[in-house]
Structure 1
Amino acid sequence: MVGVTASALIGVLHPLLSKLYTLLGGEYGRLKGVRREISFLHDELRSMNTALEVASHLEEPSTQMKEWMHQVRELSYDVEDCIDYFMHYLGENENCDGIIRKTSRRLKALRVLHRIASQIVELKERAMQVSDRQRRYEIEAVVADSSSSTIDPRLPALFEEANRLVGIDVPRNELVEWLIGDTDLVKQLYRVASIVGFGGLGKTTLAIQVYQSIKSQYDCTAFVSVSRNPNISKILTDLLWQVLDTSNPRSKYQKQRIKGIREDLEFKILQEYHHLVRIIREYLQDKRYFIIIDDIWSKQAWEFIQYRERLIWRWIAKGFINKQQGQSLEETGERCFNELMNRNMIQQVDIDYSGAPRACRVHDIMLDLIINISTEENFVTLVSDTNFSTSPRTIRRISLQGKCEDITWPDTSSLTHVRSLSVYDTFNHMPPLQDLQFLRALDLQDWHDMEDDCAYMENVGVLHQLRYLSLGRSNINEIPKQIGKLKNLQTLDLRTCTKLKELPATVTELRQLVRLFVWSGVKFPQGISKMKSLQELSKFDGSSNSADVVLELGELTRLRRLRVGWHPNGPVTDEEQAFPGLCSRRNFFII
């Protein structure tokens, strides 16, 4: 198990070593006294990285090795936070215009830089202590004999394809016969079958085979997966979408009815649990349907499905993906995702038009393993009830899950080094943003309590290290002007903010933004041509924006993917007219 932990820790150290190398070779290292300390940190961490590469081959580490690796990881995180803070203030000072303003900012920054220099000295002392402790207790990474460890032969069977599973034909045929066979049971109004057993037995595989065998014999069908932390409204919404997609309406009334329900779903009119239940019941009342609800643990147990692109973008923002020669970060992330699929650590849920996986989930046994390792390694802090228990370890990542109507957060100092915050479901009391100055990823896509005025986001400008921001599924109608202060932001996801009508002018200051997603009809400010890093934009509404703004898109030289909507009476109605330079580019797609 140490091999996995050591490899993950190497992934943390590599980008940090790159940052330290940049500091040593750039203007930052000119400050007296700091360059020497940074050079020492670089050399010490590089030596630790070499030791970790040897340790990555171990199977069972000693207690001393585990503790040493924990100290190296925490030291690495603190060094990176300090360096990022250091680079931010120096960069902010250099970007000032005017001698008086620049001098004023420099004097103000000197006090901050003095404090940062003291922190670097303290980190140097910690690095020396970690290195001395390794030598004092003779913590050595001795490569274990690979022949002494074996893999549980039952584990690969958990993810075998159906056609390679032994004994599935009999239970599948039995269930099919029971559901549609010529028996008295067929005359019943409805039938419910349960497949029960412990995790990894093959229940889902059996259910999929039954579903594929007889789904064509029903008016509409749905297959939804659920697990431990439910979002009932989302599951019911997914179920309703599938029922509509598999229906074959014949009359004009049926087609109009389906169209009306689709529009209500798209514009978030149907969100409440009781409304969804009522619509589903009414729609299925006169139909023959087949619905499978997979992976139920209890009445409260439902599963959250992760979408591939969203997952990769968050990996990049959190620093989990290191740039490989000849590959972009997205390509490296895709390779990591595919490797997890090939190793059966994640399971495919849906595919796109090209056959590539759109979403994934984790098997229950694998989920238990991930949670245990994450807790042991202090990788993430899970909050799923009203009590937030403090830990002597520094909190690095927070995942808020379930319905927590009230929660008491600890003092500010315990949240200072949080790197990511993800919210799933209902939380009335969120940690203050001003306490999360080192946050890299803020995912509020599944937070259902965000106010229309977006009061929680008022202080978003203090998140100088933020790379990923998702406000999907929220009711906000305005983006705060402070959004322009997020100089490191790479992904801004507003695609399901249906009440949002326009973006603030400050959004054009996001010069590192790579991906921007908005709801149809959003008005863009003039000056978007300054967002030179933008590679993907969806959805740009040509009828809601001026001709000048439309033409500015042609100046985005890195833009590779554009989802656009046109209106016959809009200012511009033709791609060639709007994007004379874009359409001729290689590897450029307009959807």
Structure 2
Amino acid sequence: MEVAVSLSTGVLEVVLGKLGNILMDEYELQTGAKDGIRYIREELESMQTALEKVSKVPPDQLDKQVKIWARKVREMSYSIEDTIDSFMLHVDDSDDGEYSGSSAACCPCVSAKSMLPRSYKARRDIAAEINRIKEEVDEVSKRRERYKVDSIFVAPASYDPRLLALYEDKEKLVGIDHSTDEIIKLLSMEGEGASEQKLKLVSIVGPGGMGKTTLANAVYKKLEEQFDCTAFVSVSLQPNVKNILSGLLRQVTASKVKDDLEEGKDKDKKSLHRRESQKHDGNTETWSEKELIDKIRHVLEKRRYLIVIDDIWEEQPWKLIKCALFENKLGSKVITTTRNTEIAKLCSADEVDGIIHQLQPLSDGDSEQLLYYKIFKNEGCPTELKDVSQKILKKCKGWPLAINAIASLLANKPTQTQGQWYSVLNSISTGLENNHGVKDMRLILSLSYRDMPAQLRDCLLYLSIFPEDHIIGRDDLIQRWIAEDLVHGRQDDYLYELGNKYFNELINRSMIQPIDVDAFGRAQACKVHDLVLEYINSLSAEEDFVTIFNGLQSFPQSDSIHRLSLRNSEGEHGIPKAIKRLPHVRTLVVSSCFFYSTPSLSIFPVLRVLELQRCTESNIKGVENLVHLRYLRLTQAYYFFYDGDADHCINLPERIGNLQLLQTLDLKDAMIKELPHTVVQFSQLRVLEISLRKFDKRCETLLLQCLCNVKQLEALCINAPDLSLDFMLQVDWAPTHLRRFTASPREQSKHMLRSGWVELSPFSRLPRWINSSLLLSDLSIMVRTLAQEDLEILEVLPVLRSVDLEVIQATGTRLEFNGSVGGNGHATAFQCLGNLKFASRAVGLVFKPGAVQELQKLYLCFDVAETKDVHGDFDFHSLENIASLKTLDVDIDCRCARLWEVEAVEAALSNATKLNPNCPTLGLTRHFPDLILHDQEEEIPEHLQAKKKEDALLSRVGPFGGYGGRARDIRVTPHRLEDVTIHSANVVHSLAFSYADHNGQQHSTGPWGSRDARVSTIHLGPSECLIKVSGSIGSSSEAAKLITSLIFVTNEASYGPFGKCIGDPFEFHVPSNSSIVGFFGRAGTRLDAIGFYFRPL
């Protein structure tokens, strides 16, 4: 089938703008050269008009010669733009009196001696280049006349979107309830062997775009709470089975065992979950498929599970995944989705008690409801459009994606008339009635595609550079668009807003799917539906817009490559060594530098966007010579990034500052050694995202200089696991363009309770310069303390929409969100705040009447016991003052909390939401429920004072070590340490100990880690107490950073070393007249970190 022809005019529009800039007086050119540029510009404007006209014509109406002419125009436009960019770049260099010899190699049209455009030779060479371009333009113009391009008739079209947002709320699902109930019924049907509760599998089969994934996800969400562990993974057309198995393993291991709090029930399951959580740590990228399968089977062996395997295309991937699905006779359920009936039959083989569910198109009633809802919302269809709407629905034949595409096309019309609807109806090819499958979808998608303006079409085509099922961040995508000049306007300050408009427009037209929608309906990311991606991939390949190379086909002609994606493959397939130059490549994405023969960057002279995934220092050699580069993103392998070893850190080139046009520097997933001194030259930087491990005073000064030199910085993200950023507190900096600011010691996706409450925060307090960031929209920051005055700084920021605060030290007083209201009756404090996340060991927040009037999503995370100790109660009644609140999600840390305290928290939160007039939904999760204190004597609140007195004497320090494993802590407040048991070899494998509480009752905990090494036990005498612990922190094959040795010193003797003293030393000596009484830390299969509880003797 012939797909729609894009005939992109976006690059022509950019070229015309740049030609206009050259004609400005600041560029001294020969008179003839200026005349030539005017002529070229006029001819290109005429060609642009013809291309826009042709792009509206259905592909079957276009002559082949017209398509060839359009391709020639496009290639010529790319070449002209490369010439202009090189010229303007070197003009700027000469004006500054600076010239780097390395730049000469990057200019295809201007020699090294012509860098000074005001010289006679430079003007002469530029004039010669213009004459060459003029001759090429003349030839293309003559072809246009020969092919009679202008004779093509196209009806005039206008574009004025009426529908502002189709996704303000969660998209209404039509016809899903009946199908969901039917799948659930099939999963619960009793077949042969039902008494053994055999594994039950339902395979959903149907054409692409029918809603298989939507249905499977609806069933999954409805049933997931009924199972011990769950997972949802996608296979896709070109699956990486190892990645799929790794994702499956992560999900089933992270799932929580359900806890019904009945005495003795599910103890085995909870114990198993703890053991598996300890073991599943480290890098699975190096595991074989067999190791991953064995691990998954072991995890699933004693658990009742629900797993969805989505989008299976071929037999072999399913056979491998099926090996991991352990038949445990516990009534586990599996759902698969596929487009292929034969694959569905394979999935539902007899040995798994399977059944096939053939997904049917939407009924006439549901189809009608979906179409009308997408266009008219709840207003209903006008009578005069009823007849034509039924004819349109007849051609869509109940396919949800087809209905959505047509609905979006109709909704974007300025008015809804019979004539317009019949025009759309007549445009739909009769192929819908004669053909089947993906071809029909392409025909429908082509209508929406041709209805887009040129710049939006280019932005959509750019998405083909991403692989299937990829989550594409909104801000990252917009910055790539800007770097490629796909988003362009008169004022650079508004490029982000324009890019955001394009992003939302693609969502409104149902061409991309919104992901992570916030309280204001803003999608933080997007995905591309499989069928849409297939469609734009075919368009992109036809236009040479994006070239995807995985080594399985011959390398394409180098002159036709403009954007190159080297996809992951099992072998080392890269660019052939015979290729010495790719002169027109603007974007290069290498998905895995480990598996590819990474190309030398010197062959990409005009590169603008560069992304190297899982790269090493050798992969970025020569990056400083890419003088056209505007976007640079580097990522490292998981075990390199979290190891922090200097050997694995990336050392940026010293001359990285040569990249004068760089707008985005994204190093948040790569660990850098240090900042080169040339970073202060980044004057055009708009986005800076970095991860830091070790920073000396020199680097601090360079970073501050860099920030102060960048006048238009829009996004700043600093991940600093082991560093204080307090050097940024006193800087005289006014980031007036800053929209997004993140400062955290952990990756943003990592849950704070899973990674443990950290002791070191990036900032000791909120930076005062934030009050100058009047455009700040998103803030995510960790501080040691937060005072009322800090909230008062944030509350006046006019467009602050999302705030994520993590506070290390709780204050004794509660923080108040004021209800300030202006003369117009609208809030003046936090007037736009829609999302608020607040995490602290002790949470005490007060929302005054009228406060946070726009807040719809609230998240809280706190320690139950510490909140009780600090604030004395669980007072959440002020939540009822948040009138617009829709959802309240709460994570509570139950460690060392009594059962009645946990239940009191839950009751207080439940009561507060019930009293809220908006009736928000409450999602509450207990963390570490197995560490809740269950007093056998049913201790009641009056005994709390004794515990508070005992706890007041207890202090803690640490932990020292790495970040692997999971957090480990004790259940009861320790009073005296009795004995310590260590398993050790080359490193410390595990730690266990016994202690007495203030009542003299004995408690034991551990081992934290594994017991597969030499064991040693220290028994403390009646008068012996531990006063000092020292050791070393190093690395091993099991972990990037862990405890390699320990030495224990008491008031009577010294014990150890246990392990080998390799790595960085650490030491803790208690204050005078004190002793160590217990430990906490982190452990998986080894002891990753250790911290100490101590108290006065």
Interval of TM-score (by shorter of Structure 1 and Structure 2): 0.7 to 0.9
SS in 1 for 2:588: strand
The residue number in structure 2 matching 1:444 is 612
The residue number in structure 2 matching 1:154 is none
- Separation in structure 2 between the aligned mates of residue 573 and residue 83 of structure 1, nearest angstrom: 49
- Separation in structure 2 between the aligned mates of residue 481 and residue 143 of structure 1, nearest angstrom: 57
Say if 1:354 and 1:260 are closer, same or farther in 2 by CA, change over 3 A. farther
Q: Deviations over 1:121-142 (max 9, x none)?
A: 2111111111122123322153
8 Å Cα contact 2:3-2:539 kept in structure 1: no
Shift of 1:560: 2.6
Gaps of 5+ in 1: 99-104, 148-159
The residue number in structure 2 matching 1:218 is 227
Shift of 1:466: 1.3
8 Å Cα contact 1:415-1:435 kept in structure 2: yes
- Separation in structure 2 between the aligned mates of residue 272 and residue 242 of structure 1, nearest angstrom: 18
8 Å Cα contact 1:516-1:537 kept in structure 2: yes
- How many residues align? The count is 559
8 Å Cα contact 1:487-1:510 kept in structure 2: yes
Shift of 1:65: 2.1
Q: How does 1:218-237 map to 2 (within 5 A)?
A: 218-237=227-246
- Separation in structure 1 between the aligned mates of residue 480 and residue 313 of structure 2, nearest angstrom: 28
- Separation in structure 2 between the aligned mates of residue 284 and residue 131 of structure 1, nearest angstrom: 68
The residue number in structure 2 matching 1:400 is 566
8 Å Cα contact 1:215-1:290 kept in structure 2: yes
2:265 pairs with 1:271: no
Say if 1:287 and 1:393 are closer, same or farther in 2 by CA, change over 3 A. same
2:344 pairs with 1:179: no
The residue number in structure 1 matching 2:72 is 71
**Higher percent of residues as strand:** 2
Say if 1:509 and 1:174 are closer, same or farther in 2 by CA, change over 3 A. same
The residue number in structure 2 matching 1:153 is none
SS in 2 for 1:517: strand
Q: Deviations over 1:288-320 (max 9, x none)?
A: 221212112124699441313233322222222
Q: Deviations over 1:448-475 (max 9, x none)?
A: 4x23xx1121100121111211112444
- Separation in structure 1 between the aligned mates of residue 275 and residue 718 of structure 2, nearest angstrom: 27
8 Å Cα contact 1:41-1:124 kept in structure 2: yes
8 Å Cα contact 1:390-1:410 kept in structure 2: no
Gaps of 5+ in 2: 100-110, 158-169, 260-266, 319-466, 641-647, 746-757, 774-792, 805-1097
Pairing partner for 1:559 from 738, 742, 750: 738
- Separation in structure 1 between the aligned mates of residue 276 and residue 712 of structure 2, nearest angstrom: 40
2:291 pairs with 1:119: no
Q: How does 1:100-111 map to 2 (within 5 A)?
A: 109-110=115-116
Q: Deviations over 1:134-164 (max 9, x none)?
A: 12332215334699xxxxxxxxxxxx97843
Shift of 1:433: 0.8
Supply the AA of the counterpart residue of 1:506. T
2:507 pairs with 1:334: no
- Separation in structure 1 between the aligned mates of residue 492 and residue 762 of structure 2, nearest angstrom: 41
Shift of 1:187: 3.4
Supply the AA of the counterpart residue of 1:363. H
User: Which structure has the bigger radius of gyration?
Assistant: 2
2:634 pairs with 1:471: yes
Say if 1:189 and 1:518 are closer, same or farther in 2 by CA, change over 3 A. farther
The residue number in structure 2 matching 1:152 is none
The residue number in structure 2 matching 1:370 is 536
Q: How does 1:347-426 map to 2 (within 5 A)?
A: 347-348=513-514, 350-351=516-517, 356-391=522-557, 394-403=560-569, 404-409=571-576, 411-412=578-579, 415-425=582-592
The residue number in structure 2 matching 1:575 is 766
Q: Deviations over 1:93-112 (max 9, x none)?
A: 111269xxxxxx99562577
- Separation in structure 2 between the aligned mates of residue 161 and residue 535 of structure 1, nearest angstrom: 31
| Further displaced range: 30-39 or 79-88 | 30-39
Pairing partner for 2:665 from 492, 506, 520: 492
The residue number in structure 1 matching 2:679 is 507
Q: Deviations over 1:35-63 (max 9, x none)?
A: 23222222221222222333343223222
The residue number in structure 2 matching 1:89 is 90
The residue number in structure 2 matching 1:102 is none
| Further displaced range: 434-443 or 332-341 | 332-341
2:494 pairs with 1:321: no
Shift of 1:442: 1.1
| Further displaced range: 553-562 or 488-497 | 553-562
Supply the AA of the counterpart residue of 2:739. R
SS in 1 for 2:589: strand
Q: How does 1:199-218 map to 2 (within 5 A)?
A: 199-218=208-227
Supply the AA of the counterpart residue of 1:510. F
- Separation in structure 1 between the aligned mates of residue 479 and residue 686 of structure 2, nearest angstrom: 10
Give me the identity figure in percent.
34
| Further displaced range: 17-26 or 516-525 | 516-525
- Normalising by structure 1, we get a TM-score of 0.82
2:26 pairs with 1:27: yes
8 Å Cα contact 1:2-1:58 kept in structure 2: no
Supply the AA of the counterpart residue of 1:415. L
- Separation in structure 1 between the aligned mates of residue 188 and residue 31 of structure 2, nearest angstrom: 81
- Separation in structure 2 between the aligned mates of residue 550 and residue 576 of structure 1, nearest angstrom: 5
2:620 pairs with 1:457: yes
8 Å Cα contact 1:534-1:559 kept in structure 2: yes
8 Å Cα contact 2:54-2:154 kept in structure 1: no
| Further displaced range: 212-221 or 228-237 | 228-237
The residue number in structure 1 matching 2:50 is 51
- Normalising by structure 2, we get a TM-score of 0.46
- Separation in structure 2 between the aligned mates of residue 325 and residue 579 of structure 1, nearest angstrom: 25
Supply the AA of the counterpart residue of 2:306. F
Q: Deviations over 1:427-453 (max 9, x none)?
A: 4212221110111111223xx4x23xx
Pairing partner for 1:132 from 142, 157, 161: 142
Say if 1:39 and 1:531 are closer, same or farther in 2 by CA, change over 3 A. same
Say if 1:62 and 1:286 are closer, same or farther in 2 by CA, change over 3 A. same
2:153 pairs with 1:143: yes
SS in 1 for 2:611: strand
8 Å Cα contact 2:655-2:678 kept in structure 1: yes
Say if 1:170 and 1:569 are closer, same or farther in 2 by CA, change over 3 A. closer
Shift of 1:350: 4.8
Supply the AA of the counterpart residue of 1:272. T
Q: Deviations over 1:503-541 (max 9, x none)?
A: 333223221111112235464542122122211111254
Say if 1:41 and 1:240 are closer, same or farther in 2 by CA, change over 3 A. farther
Supply the AA of the counterpart residue of 1:308. G
Say if 1:543 and 1:400 are closer, same or farther in 2 by CA, change over 3 A. closer
- Separation in structure 1 between the aligned mates of residue 171 and residue 724 of structure 2, nearest angstrom: 50
Shift of 1:2: 9.8
The residue number in structure 1 matching 2:17 is 18
- Separation in structure 2 between the aligned mates of residue 346 and residue 339 of structure 1, nearest angstrom: 9
8 Å Cα contact 2:624-2:656 kept in structure 1: yes
2:473 pairs with 1:308: yes
Say if 1:207 and 1:142 are closer, same or farther in 2 by CA, change over 3 A. same
- Separation in structure 1 between the aligned mates of residue 551 and residue 577 of structure 2, nearest angstrom: 15
SS in 2 for 1:15: helix
SS in 2 for 1:194: strand
SS in 2 for 1:402: coil
Shift of 1:336: 2.3
Shift of 1:233: 5.0
Say if 1:76 and 1:92 are closer, same or farther in 2 by CA, change over 3 A. same
Pairing partner for 1:429 from 585, 591, 597: 597
Shift of 1:495: 1.6
Q: Deviations over 1:537-562 (max 9, x none)?
A: 11254972564444337343322321
- Separation in structure 1 between the aligned mates of residue 3 and residue 200 of structure 2, nearest angstrom: 49
